[in-house]
Amino acid sequence: MNALNKKTVEDIDVKGKKCLVRCDFNVPVKDGVITDDKRIREAMKTIRYLVDHGAKVILCSHMGKPKGEFNEKYSLKPVAKRISELLGKEVYMCKDVIGEDAKSHAAALNDGDVMLLENTRFHAGEEKNDPEYSKELASMAEIFVNDAFGTAHRAHASTAGVTAYLPAVCGYLIQKEIEIMGKALEAPERPFVAILGGAKIADKLNVINNLLEKCDTLVIGGGMAFTFLKAMGYEIGKSLVDDTKIEYCKDMMKKAEANGKKLLLPIDTAIAASFPDPIDAEIDVSYVDSDKIPANMEGLDIGPKTCALFADAIKSAKTVIWNGPMGVFENPTLAKGTIEVAKAVAESECVSIIGGGDSAAAVEQLGFADKMTHISTGGGASLEFLEGLELPGIAALNDK
């Protein structure tokens, strides 16, 4: 899939038109204050374009999981305030989503005005992709613009459903995400190194399979590596493992070999007697080679030799895609592997693409964000994209 095949805001005349713009404003809020506004900042290019071109802008988004009913905790009010600050003009915050307040304000918008509907998930129809709900949303507008990359893998009423009732185009953020990741998958500068980590191998089966066809080197760390290590016949102690995926790992190792791809696994491991509880508790760790994990110990991070091995592969890469931490990075003692990989990617000259979620958070926290080519705004969405799946929120848009 390639957003270039989809119409964008530049392909239609938006002047004087009411544009329903689906963004991903699912940002963390604590005590009414947004703690990370990256997703809002990333949406501003499309919003500014529409305002500058005289559109009547009706923004919408979900936030959190309010379970289909109004809940003040998940109100988008702080988001309206932040957009207003960034835009330097008032953004009207609606009291409802498809109610009287939203509809009357939408009807009265002047060219260049901006309003924000309440949380689309305040109605159960959102996640059910209920056509009646989509129709109500669409009834307020003349054009639909989807710029919610973080939600593009979900066929919901405000992401895919509305496209049945309005001309539908994508915004700049979706365009950027798909172009950068699409190019990396389809025509990467080589060597292309893909790095996967995180806890569960079951979540990443198709990503491993797809990336093994595209990349030159696949690097696997984090909890998911232990199923591979066990498949190699290693004793992995109490480390995280999915015994139902041993055969799968063997197949993937064979596939890598048959296709001349390098598959790098941890050669040493940080081990501890048990998983830290609470997760950031002080913990005693030691480092052993990956084939020498004692039966009563658990592997919780990659070790220094592995960091060097992975960094070496990253150094010579021209393209890197990274999704998932190398260890239990929430704990300072077990964050070393993730930090070292982040550093190596930041220092490399390569095109670097960070899948959303934990690896994006790690890169931002460590202060490496501006050293990366692209940090995706969508964890789940970028993962599904890397699997080679069609994202329903994008597939539903009008072709060029």
Query: Which 300-319 residues touch ligand AMP, going by CB under 6 A?
Result: 300
Q: Which stretch binds ligand AMP (CB under 6 A): 74-82, 173-181, 193-201, 249-257?
A: 193-201
**Which residue in 19, 117, 184, 240 binds ligand AMP (CB under 6 A)?**
240
Nearest distance in Å: CB 132, ligand AMP: 35
380 given a catalytic annotation? yes
Name the catalytic one among 150, 197, 357, 393.
Answer: 357
The residue with tokens 């404003």 is: 25
Q: b/e map of 279-314 (b: 16 or more CB within 10 Å)? A: eeeebebeebebeebeeebbbbbbbeebbebbbebb
For residue 222, state whether it binds ligand AMP (rule: CB under 6 A): yes
88 given a catalytic annotation? no
The residue with tokens 């805001």 is: 9
Nearest distance in Å: CB 383, ligand AMP: 9
The single-letter DSSP state of residue 63 is -
* Token duo for residue 142: 């003349």
**Which residue in 237, 266, 324, 393 binds ligand AMP (CB under 6 A)?**
324
Q: Which stretch binds ligand AMP (CB under 6 A): 60-68, 79-87, 94-102, 194-202?
A: 194-202
Backbone angles phi, psi at 131, to 5 degrees: -60, -30
**Which residue in 327, 356, 378, 393 binds ligand AMP (CB under 6 A)?**
327
Please say which residue, 171 or 198, places its beta carbon nearer to ligand AMP: 198
**Which residue in 161, 237, 266, 299 binds ligand AMP (CB under 6 A)?**
299
Q: Are strands 56-60 and 114-116 parallel, antiparallel or unpaired?
A: parallel
Q: Which stretch binds ligand AMP (CB under 6 A): 110-118, 125-133, 144-152, 323-331?
A: 323-331
Nearest distance in Å: CB 348, ligand AMP: 22
The single-letter DSSP state of residue 124 is T
Name the catalytic one among 200, 262, 305, 315.
Answer: 200
Nearest distance in Å: CB 37, ligand AMP: 23
Give me the residue whose beta carbon is nearest to ligand AMP: 198
Query: Which 358-397 residues touch ligand AMP, going by CB under 6 A?
Result: 358
Query: Which 195-214 residues touch ligand AMP, going by CB under 6 A?
Result: 198-200, 203
336 given a catalytic annotation? no
Show Cβ contacts of residue 232 under 8 Å, excluding neighbours closer than 6 positions: 253, 265
End-to-end CA distance of the chain: 13
The residue with tokens 């129809």 is: 125
Show Cβ contacts of residue 196 under 8 Å, excluding neighbours closer than 6 positions: 204, 207, 208, 211, 218, 219, 220, 221, 222, 224, 322, 323, 324
200 given a catalytic annotation? yes
- Pairwise CA distance, residues 161 & 157, whole Å: 4
Largest Cα separation within the chain, whole Å, is 70
Residues that bind ligand AMP (CB under 6 A): 198-200, 203, 222-223, 240, 299-300, 324-325, 327-328, 330, 357-358
